Structure 1
Amino acid sequence: MSESSSRLRPGDAPVLVVDFGTTSSAAMLLAGEEAWPVPEPVTGAPTWPSAVFWDGQQMLVGTLAERRKRSEPESFAAEFKRGLAADTSVLLGRRRFRPVEQVVALLTALRAEAERLHGAPISRALITTPASYTSGDPRRARMIAAAEAAGLETVELLPEPVAVAFGPVPGPPFVPDDLVLVYDLGGGSFDTALLRIGERWHEVLGHAALDDCGGRDIDALLAGRIHAQGQQWLAPLISSASPSDPAALRLGMAVTDFAQRLKHQLSDAPAVEDFFLPNAPAYRLTQPDLAALAAPVLHRTVTCCTDLLARAGVAPHQVATVLAVGGGSRMPAVAELLHQALRLPLRTVDEPDLAAVRGAARWFPRSGPRRVTAATSPEPSVPLSFAIPGGTAHLLRWLVSPGQAYAAGVPLARVRLPGGALWDLTARLPGTLDRLLAVPGTDVSAHEWLALARP
């Protein structure tokens, strides 16, 4: 029995909590109110590269994919979350894969590793998604479908900004009715959301996103600068002028990885010198150099925030704090720019790339039973209706079949609210389900008759 599985209490139904990111993903195994990370099995790191590699027979994910990308760069893919909306297939080696299929591969690996730690099957998942994945957005449906295809039967979604606000944030706790502006600069995208803090749920008052604005875009700018300044020692490494030539692809990957390494070192050091090749001159970069290079990207994120506040009709002084998360927020230039542009209190977390998964793992056991009891009438055959929170929901499945008896308080059906949370519709009194009036897969409304039952 693994160390984590030995700490699970009997009767705890395990939940796989996943923050599926554009460039990296993180997962935690949740049982009751206790949670443990699901580390990347190759490196032991708390995050998994959101990367895949098709070797002709199977899909490798995470670090295994990263290690193979230079041998066959045409078989490697990353940042496929960006393509989830169109879901257009791409060629990996000699086979085409849709982005949703690549998501399935990574989720399958996360579930398998969590089950290895737990020592038993896991069928429920809580996945954080950007606030822009609203009801009707195809990316939302595809993320759910991918998780189900990965063997996770019950899939719940939680908006990322709601998750991070429930996470461990240094300083005094947020209080109800606080307005919090979440600034989430990830590896592949930028998301911002305005939250009103609540007891069990934080309300998203507005959100905005830049799908082409993240840490990798800053890496690309720095890689371009390295290319331009290092032509003398980079040019001989390219055997073909064609950008699709494997040698050119490998060189591009190597330079981008080098740029990312320099950027990460500058999170803690004012200046860095590093060598791309043993015989190449040292490449020197300072925090002001990086800040100037990243300024176009970072200014777009600040404009995105100020535009969101304007659309929401909220003046900056009404915002209690800015909560900066995402791996990109480690850059010192981010805090400086936010302070200069917004003039608001800024709060950060110790490991910003784990803020969403940790917050989601804290929210789940504190979210309450999330059940609503049926209203009935004194007639012999009574209609069942439910005061669904928010007024509407999507009926996922009936948990009791017609002709089946049930006890009071037993869940009869499960619905998904527009925000992604799952709720169970329960029985107020014991009875027998007589007939279904609403079928799974349809949208239902509060107080609508969903079934008939006999007391």
Structure 2
Amino acid sequence: MTEPILVVDIGSWALSAAVVLPDRVHPVREPVSGALRWPAASPERLGAALSAIATEARPVARLVLSAPVTSRAAALEASALAGFPDAELVPDAGAAVLDPLTLLEVPEGGFVLVCDLGQTWTVTVAQMQHGRPVSLSQESSGSGRDLDVMLVADLRAQLAQWVEPAFAAGGDVSLRANLHALDVVRRLKHRLADVMEAEEEVEAGVPPYRLDRRRLDQLTEPGARWLVASARAVVARAGLGPSDVVTVLLVGGAARLPGIGPALHSGLGRPVTRPADPELAVLRGAAAWVRSRPARTVPAEPPAWRVEPLTWTVPGGRGRLVRWLVQEGEAYGRDTLLAQVRTADDSVYDLTSGRSEGILLEQRVAAGGLIDSGMVAAHARLEPAGVERFQLAKRHRLRATGDWLLMPDRRTLVECSSDGEYVKVRTIANGALVAELRPGRGTKQKRQAQLALGPGQQLALVTWDAEGHFSVWDVFSGRVTASFSDGHKPDAVLLNEAEWRLVTTGAGAAHVGRYRRDVATVWDLATGARLDRIVGEDLSRRFTGYAEASQADAFAPEMKSPDGRLYAAAADGALSVRDLETEAEVFRAELGAARRVSTAFCHEGRHLLVRGTDDEGTWVDVYEVLQPA
């Protein structure tokens, strides 16, 4: 993504917008009030509202809208009127799940219950599919509007002698009074998320309108009951139970209502997540979707085959066809004898395919017919040659502050932060999250970590701190399988995956007479038992089979594809991929300032992975290998 993209979240009573740039997201404020929310327009005026936002945000190249499912057609029509016929739509629930402030990490195939509580309350079950949330079941109601109407009625009852004349006046006066009252009660109900009682001045000379949390809970209670019942219904319609849901995500302005979260937690028994500024969660998620999406350019596919004429230069300029030796529909290889021709002096010449191979589609001259030099005697279907046999298309880049490991079966990538804060297992094709371990959550102790493959090729994480406290974690189950403590600060930590042992060395950690000597301790990673303790010098060189990084990593500086047809290597600042059958270079990419570059093919050979390090951290580029059909 290089061009600025305008993202607009279309709500029932307000719009919010932001311009997404390659390096930042810039909110678009309403020019008169400076607010982050723009007043909502009627469906008939939505196009004009989008035009006004685009004018304020310009220059923008494209438009992305987040809108309720029921408003998608109207949103696309309005965007076309605003000059963006190519606008894209992101479902509200999907955008909410992608909001970076929710800190959600939903595994591939996991389910999230999204409650979008604006003027319209919508409950959606979404499933992570190929790294994207997909809506499975949904229900909506007007509970948000109903609550505001009840709050306005409560305001009118409290301040009847001051405000009722305006409401009863009719016409524009009554309309303005109602809109002003709606603004007052909306601000007030959101403030009660932090205080037990609040008040808001309606206008000069009128007592303030007071509202406490008890009264708000009373008015909210019917909507909360509907919300819990609807949540159970949409979960059941998706063929699930509440226990299948990873979390309940609350977004929208009414997510601030103090009674909603506890009601859902009590009614469903699932954790409830509410991000900061929940009314902007959908906008932030849509912006994150824009920044993470792949390029929207689709190049023409290289031709899988082409039809070409077959012509020959016949000695003497003309001959009579003796016979065809390859029939229509039959394949032939290079230098294959296709036909024979007899010249005027009764010499017979063999007509071959030359250096091309293909399928004979049509014979245009029958046996006994005349063939002139340059005359089209047949048509053949040929495969494109040379570099067209394979093409590589870059699909995505994954970044981390730690390191990457490709599992030995070459089916999944493992991302590990340098401080052991997390381990994420991802698919290769789209980077979707398969599993996650966060051993560092809740601790402020600085750690180091190393990935390793234990007995049975089980993925494990070994973590340790500066005091020499070690833990061994099973990544997929999240369990600690062993823990132990050394008596000294670790100077070097080495693992032997074959024997499932760890050795830690400490400089000057042991006393021998008046002298301090280095000490190395060998531990059994399966049980946490100490196996040996050695005192000496330069101890790390004594342990063969031990290493600072996993030896099971499938990345290598050079690699052949599983079918043996391609060869990839990183050297001299460039990635090169060669076709081993034709010895032609089919792909080349400059690597710039990248260091420690290594390559690997996935288990099927459909993707090439390139891992490298630069000043910003480590990365993995994933290329799809395209072949003719």
Shorter-chain TM-score: what band?
Answer: 0.5 to 0.7
| 1:270 Cα deviation from its structure 2 partner | 0.7
Q: Distance in 1 between matches of 2:89 and 2:102?
A: 25
Q: Distance in 1 between matches of 2:199 and 2:3?
A: 50
1:202/1:276 CA distance change after superposition, 3 Å: closer
Q: Distance in 1 between matches of 2:29 and 2:180?
A: 25
Which of 108, 113, 135 is matched with 1:181 structurally?
113
Q: Which residue of 2 aligns with 1:161?
A: 93
Unaligned runs of 5+ in 2: 309-387, 394-585, 587-629
Amino acid at match of 1:127: L
**Is the CA contact (8 Å cut-off) linking 1:33 and 1:365 kept in structure 2?**
no
Q: Does 1:378 align with 2:321?
A: no
| 1:195 Cα deviation from its structure 2 partner | 1.3
Which of 308, 312, 317 is matched with 2:243 structurally?
317
1:372/1:339 CA distance change after superposition, 3 Å: farther
Which of 225, 243, 247 is matched with 2:154 structurally?
225
Amino acid at match of 1:335: G
Q: Does 1:196 align with 2:127?
A: yes
Q: Distance in 1 between matches of 2:11 and 2:24?
A: 23
Q: Which residue of 2 aligns with 1:391?
A: none
Which of 192, 208, 212 is matched with 2:139 structurally?
208
**Is the CA contact (8 Å cut-off) linking 1:325 and 1:348 kept in structure 2?**
yes
Q: Does 1:256 align with 2:188?
A: no
| 1:283 Cα deviation from its structure 2 partner | 3.5
Secondary structure of residue in 2 paired with 1:322: strand
Q: Distance in 2 between matches of 1:37 and 1:340?
A: 36
1:365/1:259 CA distance change after superposition, 3 Å: closer
Q: Distance in 2 between matches of 1:366 and 1:273?
A: 43
**Is the CA contact (8 Å cut-off) linking 1:175 and 1:198 kept in structure 2?**
no
Which of 247, 268, 271 is matched with 2:197 structurally?
271
| 1:319 Cα deviation from its structure 2 partner | 0.5
Q: Distance in 1 between matches of 2:17 and 2:167?
A: 39
Count of residue pairs brought into register by the alignment: 313
Q: Distance in 2 between matches of 1:300 and 1:37?
A: 34
Taking the TM superposition and a 5 Å limit, the aligned residue runs for 1:80-95 are 80=42
Secondary structure of residue in 2 paired with 1:332: coil
Greater shift, 231-240 or 318-327, is seen at: 231-240
Structure showing greater Rg: 2
Q: Distance in 2 between matches of 1:308 and 1:297?
A: 16
Amino acid at match of 2:262: E
**Is the CA contact (8 Å cut-off) linking 2:159 and 2:209 kept in structure 1?**
no
Higher helix share: 1
Q: Distance in 2 between matches of 1:292 and 1:238?
A: 25
1:172/1:228 CA distance change after superposition, 3 Å: closer
Amino acid at match of 2:128: I
Amino acid at match of 2:52: A
1:239/1:333 CA distance change after superposition, 3 Å: closer
Amino acid at match of 1:195: A
Q: Which residue of 1 aligns with 2:18?
A: 28
Taking the TM superposition and a 5 Å limit, the aligned residue runs for 1:93-132 are 99-100=43-44, 102-115=45-58, 120=59, 122-130=60-68, 132=69
1:208/1:33 CA distance change after superposition, 3 Å: farther
| 1:360 Cα deviation from its structure 2 partner | 1.2
| 1:373 Cα deviation from its structure 2 partner | 6.1
Q: Distance in 1 between matches of 2:167 and 2:17?
A: 39
Q: Distance in 2 between matches of 1:141 and 1:321?
A: 30
**Larger relative contact order (C-alpha < 8 A, sep ≥ 6)?**
1
Which of 329, 332, 335 is matched with 2:258 structurally?
332
| 1:282 Cα deviation from its structure 2 partner | 4.5
Secondary structure of residue in 1 paired with 2:138: strand
Q: Normalization by structure 2: what TM-score?
A: 0.46
Q: Distance in 2 between matches of 1:172 and 1:165?
A: 7
| 1:176 Cα deviation from its structure 2 partner | 1.8
1:169/1:250 CA distance change after superposition, 3 Å: closer
| 1:174 Cα deviation from its structure 2 partner | 2.3
**Is the CA contact (8 Å cut-off) linking 2:98 and 2:286 kept in structure 1?**
yes
1:147/1:170 CA distance change after superposition, 3 Å: closer
1:250/1:176 CA distance change after superposition, 3 Å: same
Amino acid at match of 1:217: D
1:237/1:36 CA distance change after superposition, 3 Å: closer
Q: Does 1:45 align with 2:35?
A: yes
Higher strand share: 2
1:13/1:315 CA distance change after superposition, 3 Å: same
Q: Distance in 2 between matches of 1:307 and 1:322?
A: 14
| 1:35 Cα deviation from its structure 2 partner | 2.0
Residues 60-116 of structure 1, C-alpha deviations (whole Å, 9 max, x = no match): xxxxxxxxxxxxxxxxxxxx3xxxxxxxxxxxxxxxxxx23x10011001110110x
Residues 180-213 of structure 1, C-alpha deviations (whole Å, 9 max, x = no match): 1111001x21112111124432222222222x23
1:46/1:246 CA distance change after superposition, 3 Å: closer
Residues 382-427 of structure 1, C-alpha deviations (whole Å, 9 max, x = no match): xxxxxxxxxxxxxxxxxxxxxxxxxx99x9xxxxxxxxxxxxxxxx
Q: Distance in 2 between matches of 1:123 and 1:287?
A: 46
Taking the TM superposition and a 5 Å limit, the aligned residue runs for 1:408-427 are none
Q: Distance in 2 between matches of 1:18 and 1:250?
A: 27
Q: Which residue of 2 aligns with 1:434?
A: none
Q: Distance in 2 between matches of 1:278 and 1:250?
A: 16
Q: Distance in 1 between matches of 2:65 and 2:14?
A: 14
Q: Distance in 2 between matches of 1:205 and 1:175?
A: 16
**Is the CA contact (8 Å cut-off) linking 2:7 and 2:63 kept in structure 1?**
yes
Q: Distance in 2 between matches of 1:145 and 1:368?
A: 25
1:276/1:37 CA distance change after superposition, 3 Å: closer
Q: Distance in 2 between matches of 1:199 and 1:255?
A: 46
Amino acid at match of 1:224: A
| 1:278 Cα deviation from its structure 2 partner | 4.5
| 1:351 Cα deviation from its structure 2 partner | 1.1
Q: Distance in 2 between matches of 1:343 and 1:289?
A: 26
Taking the TM superposition and a 5 Å limit, the aligned residue runs for 1:231-310 are 231-237=160-166, 240=169, 244-310=170-236
**Is the CA contact (8 Å cut-off) linking 1:321 and 1:346 kept in structure 2?**
yes
1:328/1:178 CA distance change after superposition, 3 Å: same
| 1:313 Cα deviation from its structure 2 partner | 1.4
Secondary structure of residue in 1 paired with 2:100: coil
Q: Does 1:149 align with 2:78?
A: no
**Is the CA contact (8 Å cut-off) linking 1:33 and 1:362 kept in structure 2?**
no
Greater shift, 306-315 or 291-300, is seen at: 291-300
Q: Distance in 2 between matches of 1:124 and 1:239?
A: 46
